[in-house]
Amino acid sequence: MTCDVQGCRPKIHAVVMTVVEQWIPVPTSFGGVDTHFTEGSPSESERAILLSQAAAKHLQVDFPDWQVESDARIGSPATVLLDKADEFKPDLIVVGPSGHSTLGRWILGSVSQKVMTHARSSVRIGRFDADKGDQPIRVAIGVDGSPGSKVAIDAALARAWPAGTEFRLINADFELPVSTSENLVGPVTAWIEDEREKVDRNLNQAAELLKAKGFSVEIVKIQGDPKKVLCNEIESWNADCIFVGAERLGMLDRILLGSISSAVATRANCSVEIVRPKGVN
């Protein structure tokens, strides 16, 4: 847990959630008696409360300046988390890559996938590598010419990373189309060149800002499918996390809305933060 919130601001208001899965709906009251948290077996409810409280205490010890609360509820985990998010309005939701229930082993990652897809805020799929020890944190950022990419860059820059953190800015460059039609090639080529200029501006600006803070920065541009390029690069580099924008708002990119961030979150072997601009519905 501690590793996967590195870079966060010194003062945070956090809520640790534990959800007891329930698949059979039950009434909220019976005979005038409130049944909240008596819907499941008492042992499950008590364990959920203790688990959330223990996690909150652990987080509080590591981050004494944070305001940390615990919350335990019964229901469908993804739905409960999304409802809590609508109530709490967080800047970031942190979830694991998969559930640990019996059914969760069969529907791998269904909770995180639903939260990632439907949340209004940014979502971090947390993965922890206990073997890394005290090695420097490695942060990758997926960069293209879209507004979503700029938001991801800004989110990474806003964090308080420890000295020695290494950054890699990764861009999957466009491959020129293969076509015999000059009427098609001309406009598409012009559009690709315009996108490349936007990418270069984003890459250079981000690199300059990170270098100004004393961090080492590497820019990587590779032609190919962004989903494959990003996943291959973070795996070969042994990244700790990658920031990607939730939206690509370019002309062609609307067709592929969310596919890149979703694919990276599913396939990556490190933490993935899917960044949404504040106020997105």
pLDDT in tens, the chain (281 residues): 444 555 666 678 999 999 887 655 545 554 454 545 545 455 677 888 888 999 999 989 988 989 999 999 888 889 999 999 999 999 999 998 764 444 443 444 678 888 888 888 999 998 877 677 678 899 999 998 778 888 999 999 988 898 899 999 999 876 665 555 556 566 767 777 788 888 888 899 999 999 999 999 999 999 888 889 999 999 999 999 999 987 644 444 434 445 788 888 888 889 999 998 875 54
244 three-class SS: strand
Tell whether 42 and 95 lie within a shared domain: no
User: Can you give the pLDDT at residue 123?
Assistant: 92
User: Can you give the pLDDT at residue 45?
Assistant: 78
The CATH number of whichever domain residue 222 belongs to comes to 3.40.50.620
User: Can you give the pLDDT at residue 256?
Assistant: 43
Tell whether 177 and 261 lie within a shared domain: yes
Tell whether 153 and 222 lie within a shared domain: yes
Q: Establish if 229 belongs to a structural domain.
A: yes
Map tokens 């700790």 to a residue: 240
140 three-class SS: strand
Tell whether 109 and 141 lie within a shared domain: no
Task: Tell me the torsion sign for CA atoms 144, 147, 150, 156.
Answer: negative
Please check whether residue 166 is in contact with residue 135, taking contact to mean a CB–CB distance below 8 angstroms. Answer: no
Tell whether 157 and 242 lie within a shared domain: yes
Burial class (CB in 10 A: 0-12, 13-18, 19+), 63: middle
Burial class (CB in 10 A: 0-12, 13-18, 19+), 3: middle
Tell whether 41 and 16 lie within a shared domain: yes
Tell whether 181 and 253 lie within a shared domain: yes
Q: Establish if 280 belongs to a structural domain.
A: no
- The helix or strand, by DSSP H or E, that contains position 99, with its residue range, turns out to be none
Residue among 274, 33, 281, 16 at smallest CA distance from 148: 274
User: Can you give the pLDDT at residue 177?
Assistant: 57
Q: What pLDDT, in 10s, does the model give residues 97-123?
A: 764 444 443 444 678 888 888 888 999
Q: For residue 125, which phi and psi values (nearest 5 degrees)?
A: -90, 105
Number of folded domains that form the chain: 3
Q: Establish if 122 belongs to a structural domain.
A: yes
Instruction: Report DSSP letters for 22-66, one per residue.
Output: --S---SEETTEE-TTTSS-HHHHHHHHHHHHHHHHHHHHH-TTS
Q: Establish if 83 belongs to a structural domain.
A: no
Tell whether 155 and 202 lie within a shared domain: yes
Q: For residue 204, which phi and psi values (nearest 5 degrees)?
A: -65, -40
Report the distance separating Cα 48 and Cα 52, nearest Å: 6
Instruction: Report DSSP letters for 191-233, one per residue.
Output: HHHHHHHHHHHHHHHHHHHHHHTT-EEEEEEEES-HHHHHHHH
Report the distance separating Cα 246 and Cα 149, nearest Å: 8
Domain residues for 52? 3-75
Angle at 151 between CA 148 and CA 152, to 5 degrees: 90
Q: Establish if 86 belongs to a structural domain.
A: no
Q: Establish if 108 belongs to a structural domain.
A: yes
Please check whether residue 143 is in contact with residue 203, taking contact to mean a CB–CB distance below 8 angstroms. Answer: yes
Tell whether 265 and 160 lie within a shared domain: yes
Report the distance separating Cα 213 and Cα 107, nearest Å: 42
Report the distance separating Cα 70 and Cα 55, nearest Å: 8
Tell whether 198 and 234 lie within a shared domain: yes
Q: Establish if 109 belongs to a structural domain.
A: yes
Q: Establish if 80 belongs to a structural domain.
A: no
Tell whether 29 and 119 lie within a shared domain: no
User: Regarding beta strands 33-34 and 29-30, do their DSSP bridges make them parallel or antiparallel, or are they unpaired?
Assistant: antiparallel
Map tokens 């989110």 to a residue: 155
Tell whether 50 and 63 lie within a shared domain: yes
Residue among 272, 207, 260, 203 at smallest CA distance from 235: 272
**Amino acid occupying residue 6:** Q
